[in-house]
């Protein structure tokens, strides 16, 4: 803020800049004698023009008495301007005039225009002085212009400084208003109750305006306005009639008015009548608006002050924004209520269906009683699509989607899927899902086909295994005598050719072939026989390490490394120790057979993010990996990529994992070898004390 001395010094600098001279001081009396007699008509013209324009007339709210008082002040200012006694007091008075323009909200543009009009009128008066030499007229014109320029300059300077100083708190207030609007909008979008939104809006208005009273009057169909929320009013007034549109002219006027309406002072603006409650509270000023949704009136929002107050455009903008937010919140709640009613009707309908039914809109789902029985979860526990997906273990489309058929409308489609879901008790159920999708929502029909699916699967598997078992039993029976004779003959032949090394080699090969044939019979018998498990908590580290140790001879003279990186939270599972060692031994044998030295095998584990209660074990080697066909067929019986082998190892491993209630999948990863992902039931009561990162190397 500039000091008075700085203001005066600036004036002196400007005066020098304009070329003020002693001659200008000496002609002051002469200009006064010529021009002052015409001041009355000039000042009358000045205020006539002010009253003709809305942007300037609005600063005059005191009627004729105020105008006469201002005319007297202007006459004094005019005489002082002509006398040009440029002392300290003169400058400060001019500076205050600029301040006053800011206070009353008069734009500096109109001040400049007024000076231009005045300059033109004074110049015409000087031009009519016929007895004056032309050279003198020119000088008086120039001196008059310097006087007007000095006054206008110091007023403009004061206007600029004062307006800038006032703009800082105005900008701060606008920023605060924007923050309050953002907060209110956030509450509305978050689905807050209407009463909470009304109370926040009233509180924010009182905070932003520093007002004495604020209220939101809700409009009823009977013409009554009820006090829905208020600040500064008695709390027992809430919910009670505050006014009536038919009986209160101001409420009728506001109901028809669009945008904000301001009352700077009720006593002056007598054409508007305050409500009895406003009058009894001795309120002087108000800023009001009708809250409406399109052409439907919702209520009246008002901010009141006990002292006269002028308003700026940002005040109107803030109240208007609050009112629009209230209208949007009311409209949104109406839509939500209608939607809730429709959803309720649909729920009552689907709740009576014998099949499982799910209604989906966006991310929200609603289930019927049958789905509760099917999953074990209540409606409160299954509210979103994400919560449903957590139950889904696997899914596959059993039919292609049907679009534009006779059973669906345009833009709709029907899909059929087969799902596996995990119930709340951990059991897996097979679900047949028919899904009807529209542009806005979905309806699912669910049937539990677990028993039917298991019966089909068990029947098929039993038939398959029975056939294999019957076949292998017959083969073993028919081959037993032949194998025994081969064995006896081989042993006798070995005694007769002890000195013949070539014959001894052939006998060894014959015995090896006999052993391979016997192993094949054993593997097929193992695959066909039921899998019996002895379940207990077992550490993954110990299982894999034992399987690795069993292959010590196979990896002798090999550069082979096993790295165990087991997560502490997932290194103990519920399983059959012997059977799981069998699974990992099979994987390790395959890696040793497929990988070139140096062989590097990595096993890590983690909690399954999508299936609660399971551990995922990721097995990976650095070999050539599996082809696309091998990845697809690796668990088929008798499929193998080895030159030797029955092709039953991975099929048996898959059966063992399935018997544990887990899954075994082959994954293709670019730049990696063979990768298998195994899921097993986690043991949450037992934790391994082993190091989560162990390296075993031979």
The Cα–Cα gap between 545 and 228 comes to 74
Q: Which of 131-135, 182-186, 243-247, 471-475 has the lowest mean pLDDT?
A: 471-475
pLDDT at position 408, please? 56
- 192-336 matches 351-447 in fold: yes
Residue 54: partners with Cβ closer than 8 Å, 6 or more residues away: none
Its sign, for the CA torsion 171, 173, 178, 179, is positive
Note if the bond before 2 is cis, omega within 30 degrees.
Answer: no
Average pLDDT over residues 222-249: 93
Question: For position 170, what pLDDT does the model report?
Answer: 54
- What is the torsion angle, in degrees rounded to the nearest 10, for the CA atoms of residue 163, residue 168, residue 170 and residue 171? 130
Instruction: Label residue 691 by pLDDT band (50, 70, 90).
Output: very low
Number of helices and strands (H, E) in the chain?
21, 20
**Mean pLDDT, range 244-262, rounded to an integer:** 91
Cβ-based neighbours of 184, under 8 Å, separated by 6 or more: 197, 200, 201, 204, 322, 325
What is the per-residue pLDDT for 392? 92
Q: Is the pLDDT of residue 477 over 70?
A: no
Residue 304 sits at φ, ψ, to 5 deg, of -120, 150
Q: Are 286 and 263 in contact (CB under 8 A)?
A: yes
Asked if the model's pLDDT at residue 266 lies above 50, the reply is: yes
Residue 499 has pLDDT above 80, yes or no: no
Q: What is the largest CA-CA distance in the chain?
A: 164
Query: Quick check: 197 and 191 in contact, CB under 8 A?
Result: no
Mean pLDDT of 658-681: 85
SS3 for 151? helix
- Tell which wins on pLDDT, 200 or 695: 200
* Beta carbons within 8 Å of 8's beta carbon, 6+ residues apart: 88, 91, 92
pLDDT above 90 covers a percentage of the chain that reads: 27
What's the confidence (pLDDT) of residue 584? 93
- The pLDDT, as a whole number, for residue 527 is 62
Select the CATH number that applies to the domain covering 351-447 from these four: 3.40.1180.10, 1.10.3470.10, 3.30.450.20, 3.40.50.10540: 3.30.450.20
521 pLDDT above the threshold of 50: yes
> What's the rounded mean pLDDT across residues 510-516?
73
What is the CATH topology of the domain spanning 536-697?
Answer: Heat Shock Protein 90 (3.30.565)
Length of the chain: 698
Superfamily per CATH, domain 4-169: Globins (1.10.490.10)
Measured CA angle at 187 (ends 184, 193), to 5 deg:
115
pTM of the model: 0.36
- Give the 3-state secondary structure of residue 395: strand
pLDDT of residue 537: 92
**Dihedrals φ, ψ of 366, to 5°?**
-130, 130
Q: What is the pLDDT of residues 478-490, one digit of tens each?
A: 666 677 777 778 7
Binned at pLDDT 50, 70 and 90, residue 523 comes out as low
pLDDT of residue 696: 40
Question: pLDDT by residue (tens digit) across 5-47?
Answer: 888 888 888 889 989 999 998 999 988 999 999 888 888 888 8
Least confident range from 46-55, 102-111, 413-422: namely 102-111
Least confident of 93-97, 389-393, 547-551: 93-97
pLDDT at residue 2, rounded to an integer: 63
pLDDT at 505: 79
Q: Give the pLDDT confidence score for residue 473 in this predicted structure.
A: 59
Q: What is the pLDDT of residue 347?
A: 65
What are the domain boundaries of the chain?
A: 4-169, 192-336, 351-447, 454-528, 536-697
Exposure string for 334-357, b = 16+ CB within 10 A, e = fewer: eeeeeeeeeeeebbeebbeeebbb
Give how far the C-alpha of residue 166 lies from the chain's centroid of Cα atoms, to the nearest Å: 38
Q: Looking at beta carbons, which pairs linking 328-334 to residues 24 or more positions away fall under 8 Å?
A: 328/188, 329/188, 329/194, 329/197, 330/194, 330/291, 330/293, 330/298, 331/293, 332/188, 333/194
Q: Which residue has the higher pLDDT, 216 or 48?
A: 216
Residue-wise pLDDT for 299-342, tens only, equals: 999 999 998 888 888 889 999 999 999 999 998 888 888 888 87
Q: What is the DSSP string of 594-644?
A: HPPSSEEEEEEEEE-SSSTTEEEEEEEESS----HHHHHHTTSTT--SSSS
For the four alpha carbons of 177, 181, 182 and 183, in that order, the dihedral sign comes to positive
Residue 645 has pLDDT above 80, yes or no: no
Q: What is the pLDDT of residues 183-203, one digit of tens each?
A: 888 888 888 899 999 999 999
Pick the CATH number of 192-336 from 3.30.450.40, 3.40.50.300, 3.50.50.60, 3.30.465.10: 3.30.450.40
pLDDT, one tens digit per residue, over 593-644 is 889 999 999 999 888 765 667 888 999 999 888 888 888 888 887 777 776 6
**Mean of the per-residue pLDDT values of the chain:** 82
Q: Is 74 in contact with 43 (CB distance < 8 Å)? A: yes
Give the model confidence (pLDDT) of 373-420 as tens digits: 999 999 899 999 999 999 998 888 654 444 444 455 666 788 888 899
Closest CA to 575 of 614, 603, 523: 614
pLDDT, average across residues 505-526: 70
Q: What is the pLDDT of residue 295?
A: 82
């Amino acid at each position: 803020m500039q000091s008075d001395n700085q203001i005066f010094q600036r004036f002196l600098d400007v005066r020098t800049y304009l070329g003020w001279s002693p001659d200008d001081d000496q002609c002051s009396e002469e200009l006064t004698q010529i021009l002052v007699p015409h001041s009355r008509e000039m000042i009358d013209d000045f205020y006539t023009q002010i009253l003709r324009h809305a942007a300037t007339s609005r600063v005059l709210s005191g009627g004729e008495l105020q105008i006469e008082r201002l005319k007297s002040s202007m006459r004094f200012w005019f005489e002082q301007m002509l006398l040009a006694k440029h002392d300290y007091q003169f400058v400060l008075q001019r500076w205050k005039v600029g301040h006053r323009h800011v206070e009353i909200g008069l734009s500096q543009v109109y001040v400049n225009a007024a000076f231009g009009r005045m300059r033109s009128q004074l110049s015409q008066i000087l031009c009519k002085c016929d007895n004056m030499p032309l050279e003198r007229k020119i000088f008086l014109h120039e001196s008059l212009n310097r006087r007007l320029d000095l006054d206008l300059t110091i007023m403009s300077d004061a206007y600029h400084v004062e307006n800038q100083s006032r703009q800082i708190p105005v900008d701060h207030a606008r920023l605060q208003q924007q923050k309050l609007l953002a907060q209110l909008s956030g509450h509305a979008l978050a689905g807050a109750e209407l009463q909470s939104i009304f109370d926040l809006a009233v509180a924010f208005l009182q905070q932003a305006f520093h007002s004495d009273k604020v209220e939101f009057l809700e409009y009823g169909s009977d013409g009554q306005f009820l006090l829905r929320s208020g600040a500064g009013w008695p709390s027992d007034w809430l919910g009670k009639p505050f006014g009536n549109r038919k009986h209160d002219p101001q409420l009728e006027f506001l109901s028809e008015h669009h945008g904000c309406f301001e009352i700077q002072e009720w006593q002056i603006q007598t054409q508007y009548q305050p409500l009895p409650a406003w009058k009894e509270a001795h309120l002087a000023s108000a800023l009001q608006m009708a809250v409406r949704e399109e052409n439907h009136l919702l209520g009246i929002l008002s901010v009141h002050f006990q002292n006269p107050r002028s308003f700026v455009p940002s005040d109107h903008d803030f109240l208007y924004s609050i009112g629009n937010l209230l209208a949007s919140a009311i409209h949104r709640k109406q839509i939500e209520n209608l939607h809730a009613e429709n959803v309720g009707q649909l729920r009552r309908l689907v709740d009576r269906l014998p099949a499982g039914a799910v209604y989906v809109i966006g991310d929200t789902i609603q289930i019927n009683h049958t789905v509760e029985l099917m999953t074990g979860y209540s409606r409160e526990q299954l509210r979103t699509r994400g919560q449903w997906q957590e139950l889904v273990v696997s899914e596959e489309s059993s039919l292609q989607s049907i679009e534009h058929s006779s059973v669906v409308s345009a833009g709709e489609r029907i899909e059929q899927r087969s799902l596996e879901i995990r119930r709340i008790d951990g059991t897996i159920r097979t679900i047949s899902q028919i899904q009807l999708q529209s542009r806005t929502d979905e309806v699912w029909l669910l049937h539990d086909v677990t028993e039917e699916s298991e019966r089909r699967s068990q029947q098929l598997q039993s038939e398959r295994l029975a056939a294999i078992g019957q076949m292998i039993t017959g083969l073993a029976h028919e081959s037993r005598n032949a194998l025994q004779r081969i064995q006896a003959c081989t042993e006798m032949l070995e005694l007769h050719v002890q000195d013949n090394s070539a014959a001894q080699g052939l006998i060894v090969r014959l015995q090896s072939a006999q052993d391979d044939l016997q192993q094949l019979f054993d593997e097929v018998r193992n695959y066909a026989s039921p899998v019996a498990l002895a379940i207990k908590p077992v550490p993954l580290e110990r299982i894999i390490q034992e399987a690795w140790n069993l292959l010590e001879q196979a990896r002798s003279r090999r550069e082979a490394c096993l790295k165990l990186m087991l997560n502490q939270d997932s290194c103990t599972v519920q399983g059959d120790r012997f059977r799981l060692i069998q699974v990992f031994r099979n994987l390790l044998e395959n890696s040793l057979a497929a990988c070139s030295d140096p062989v590097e095998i990595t096993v890590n584990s983690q909690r399954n993010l999508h299936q609660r209660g399971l551990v995922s074990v990721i097995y990976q080697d650095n070999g050539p990996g599996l082809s696309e066909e091998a990845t697809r067929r690796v668990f088929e019986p008798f499929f193998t990529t080895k030159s030797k082998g029955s092709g039953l190892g991975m099929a048996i491993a898959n059966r063992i994992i399935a018997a544990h209630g887990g899954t075994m999948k082959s994954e293709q990863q670019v730049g990696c070898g063979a990768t298998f992902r195994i899921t097993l039931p986690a043991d949450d009561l037992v934790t391994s004390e082993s190091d989560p990162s162990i390296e075993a190397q031979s």
